[in-house]
Structure 1
Amino acid sequence: MATERTLPNLWHATAPAAPETRPLSQDLTTDVAIIGGGFTGLSAALHLAEKGVKATVIEAKMIGFGGSGRNVGLVNAGMWVKPDDLISTLGPEAGNRLLTELGDGPSMVYALVEKHGMPCEAVRNGTLHMAVGSEGVTEIKDREAQWQKRGAPVEALSAERAHALTGAEGFSGALLDRRAGTIQPLAYARGLARAALAAGAEIYTDTPLTGAEHQGDSWVLKAGNNTVRAKQVILATNAYGGLFAESPWQAHTQELTILPYFQFATNPLPDAVAKRILPERQGTWDTGLVMTSFRMDQQNRLIFGSIGRLDAIAEGTHRAFAARSLRKLFPFIGNFRFEYWWDGRIGMTTNNLPAMHTLAPNVVSVSGYNGRGIAPGTVFGRALASHVTGETSAIPLAETPVTPDTWRGVKSAFYHAGAQAKHFIDRRF
């Protein structure tokens, strides 16, 4: 198994405690085995349990170990791909269906939060896609036109209005999407787990999947030192499946280019400063070639992120860039320090859209959220639950064969090295 550095993650420090779980300690039989305890797997477990289906989640580490516990926490609508480009790729029928499902994704997330009383710092005041230069203005206006013709409540804002809503210097405008919002992502994942358990699902943590054998009409999965027998399997590991080398059905991870993304969180800022930064508490990301993001949490910490991995060599470069960026963006910020820093893996596909696969008989997966994990993961979890229980056309994606990206390793290395080089020189003057 590959390992990752243990870093001080804000979400782990501030999320409510996870529901009590334990490693699998006996053989069991279930209707649907779900591999992965993140947004997708937990949403699938919750919706299966609500249908009266016996669902069992097998998680190699802990609830929200992967991208669900490292996310920026933006509950975005749709995908990163522009609507017209998405339809050009998928076709009108499939494309419009996916746009509808994911456009309504934030509503689904916030409805689940309210229904199950999840304490996860949920704020639904929209998100802001910040425009960098004239090219950024062109991009957000194009996105505005494409979404507005589909009836979405999005609006391109002037530089002055963008400044008023963020307090940030240097942007040429912003696209406000009122469908969206922010959330404490690990708290949300833990809330999904608690709701799934209450509905009757089972969750086993610290239980890696190491083997699988098809016997008759069922799968016998080797999980830890025990087995799980299930007729249906949902693989919900996304960008983190490749960390566990012994796991079966690894092929789908070979089509994901790993885009690393780091975040730094300040100490709680003084009220007078915090009130000037994102006063309505939208979350942001920008149109820059090497994207950055910033948002606030409930304790007035300012969280800044960008592309890059916090390994022992690159961490100093990214830390210095984050500090310079906050001082450039918010000249009034005063003294601050970084209390938390962490990174994660974003699974990117060649067309920047999710992919659905049947990896073996009765083994299905959806992966490749391309930086949009919260709402799509929740939506696809529900869709996978419907799919394995026999509902036709439950998933708003056409099934495709796994197509490994032979350049994925090179591209991942380029993203890491390129971001480090750019962050070394950016915002020094």
Structure 2
Amino acid sequence: MQEHPDGQGLWARTAPPAPQTSALAGALKADVAVVGGGFTGLSAALHLAEAGARTVVLEGCEIGHGGSGRNVGLVNAGMWVLPDELPKTLGTVHGERLLTLLGEAPRLVFALVEKHAIACEPERSGTLHCAVGASGLRQIEERARQWQARNAPVRLLDAGEAAAKIGSAAFGGALLDERAGTLQPLAYARGLAQAAMAAGAQIFTRSPVRAIERDAGLWRVETPGGHVTVDWVVSATNAYTTGLWPELRWELVHLPYFQFATEPLPDALRKAILPGRQGAWDTNKVLTSFRLDGEGRLVFGSVGALRCTGPAVHAAWARRAIRRIFPALGAVRFTHSWYGMIGMTDDSLPKFHRLAPNVIGFSGYNGRGIAPGTVFGKVLADHILGATPADDLPLPVSDPHPQRLRALREAGIEWGAQAVHLLRMLR
């Protein structure tokens, strides 16, 4: 391995450089302070700045440091839960509104990539949800039925069609979602930042927010090197929330997700494995994802953290899993490894919070960060600008509620994933 697995691995190696930024020093006045430099915060900043709002982004580390720079890079439509669950959980109005918004979210992502010429290896050929066994086939059949009832362009593939798309006979079928695609996530985040700055937003990195205080009807947002006085504050920290809004951290169970990347595959294997360049994942509860990057590396991941005994266990499992799914690859060598945290809510759906007057944000993307993060950033901008009234938002306002036994559940996920991968190696 070439880097510490807690970094951003292959994405840091292949992304264009981030725009030049510095830490906040001194006092500023603006209309909006965005806390967090990931997909949501950068999308909000871009759309605010384009509308003429004076916007400042405050990022505690670097652009895309959190989940935005560590994820698989699948630009998916909807959420992990089945479409029919959204109206059942949120009510018909918000449920259907959110389904429509998230169903169209990949279109916004790729439109921004094209508009701002973001070099992020975009592939708009869809994604594949791959069925493991009879139960997995039933899962994708039901998902297809529910999306097709809403006229979404999704298509069930039988075992033969799936094998041709995947380059493997390991699955009993697959669901092709033609709305979706892939990209290089850290490159996309850096491109959003560059576009936001070109539109007039100011971005400060290494500027963790220590406190926000109400002062004469405005918010004073403080960092170690200075402060910003604003009308509005956007919370865009999600699974990487630290001390500023502890209630946001308490409502999320952290699910670690790791990835390994191989050397670039030979041309013949690139043409045989995922020849249509779709990203893929399977129906296992402890799922497996796989895709090719722009240089033909196989990026292979699953649930788990690369720390303690995790690196050895997960790497050994990944090699065996790749050999089983793609036997033509033989023994592979991993050149990069990394992992990040996914924020899981109690109902696997995102939340919209009004944390104080004019302090708003979305949280809990449950493994679907790119498209929801981008579109939610635009929703926040539109709401602040007055274009989207509160009654028209895609989610109702909710208060953060701590999840019971959160720390115990997080430990169970991390160590349970290692146990699952050990058991799978013994089969």
1:25-64 → structure 2 map (5 Å cutoff): 25-64=25-64
Instruction: Say whether 1:306 aligns with 2:296.
Output: no
1: CA distance, partners of 2:363 / 2:6 = 25
**d(CA) in 2 for partners of 1:40 and 1:261?**
20
Instruction: Give distance in 2, aligned partners of 1:296 and 1:136.
Output: 23
Once residues 48 and 361 of structure 1 are traced to their aligned partners in structure 2, the CA distance between those partners, rounded to angstroms, is 19
Per the alignment, in what secondary structure is the counterpart of residue 211 of structure 2?
A: strand
Query: Structure 1: where are the runs of 5+ without partners?
Result: none
Aligned residue in 1 for 2:173: 173
SS in 2 for 1:83: coil
Counterpart position of 2:337: 341
In 1, Cα distance between the equivalents of 2:378 and 2:265? 38
Shift of 1:104: 0.3
Distance 2:6 2:420 in 1: 25
- Report the Cα distance in structure 1 between the residues aligned to 2:122 and 2:153, rounded to whole angstroms: 19
| Structure 1 segment 205-354 matched on structure 2, within 5 A | 205-242=205-242, 245=243, 248-354=244-350
Structure 1 residue 216: deviation in Å? 1.5
Give the AA of the match of 2:330: G
The C-alpha deviation readout for 1:105-157, integer Å capped at 9, x for no partner, is 00000000000001100000000001110001101000111000100000111
Note if 1:369 corresponds to 2:369.
no
Matched position secondary structure for 1:265? strand
Structure 2 length as normaliser, TM-score?
0.97
Go from structure 1 to structure 2 and tell me whether the alpha carbon gap of 1:344 and 1:6 turns closer, same or farther (over 3 Å shift): closer
From 382, 385, 394, the equivalent of 1:386 is 382
Larger displacement relative to structure 2 (197-206 or 4-13): 4-13
Match of 2:112 in 1: 112
Moved more, 162-171 or 183-192: 162-171
Separation in 1, partners of 2:118, 2:393: 26
Structure 1 match to 2:420: 422
Contact 2:48 2:381 in 1 (8 A): yes
Is 1:355 paired with 2:351?
yes
Retained in 2: the 8 A contact 1:64–1:186? yes
Distance 2:180 2:316 in 1: 30
User: In structure 2, what is the Cα distance between the partners aligned to 1:164 and 1:193?
Assistant: 38
| One-letter code aligned to 1:297 | D
Q: CA offsets, 1:221-255, max 9 Å, x none? A: 1112211111100010000013xx3xx22212210
Q: Secondary structure at the match of 2:210?
A: strand
Instruction: Give aligned-pair identity as a percent.
Output: 53
Superposed CA offset, 1:47-94 (max 9, x none): 000110011000000000000000100000011111111111011111
* TM-score where L is the length of structure 1: 0.96
The runs of 5 or more residues in structure 2 that have no matched partner are: none
Check whether the contact 1:265–1:339 (CA below 8 A) recurs between aligned residues: yes
Question: How far is 1:5 from its partner?
Answer: 6.1
Could you tell me how far apart the structure 2 residues matched to 1:128 and 1:256 are? 27
Say which is worse superposed, 399-408 or 274-283, in terms of deviation: 399-408
Structure 2: how far apart are the matches of 1:334 and 1:328? Answer: 9
Q: Is the 8 A contact 2:6 2:340 kept in 1?
A: no
CA distance in 2, matches of 1:288, 1:376: 23
Letter in 1 for 2:119: P
d(CA) in 1 for partners of 2:303, 2:413 = 8
Aligned-CA RMSD value: 1.2
Aligned length: 422
In the alignment, is the contact (CA less than 8 A) between 1:40 and 1:236 conserved in 2? yes
Mapped contact 1:328–1:427 kept (Cα < 8 A): no
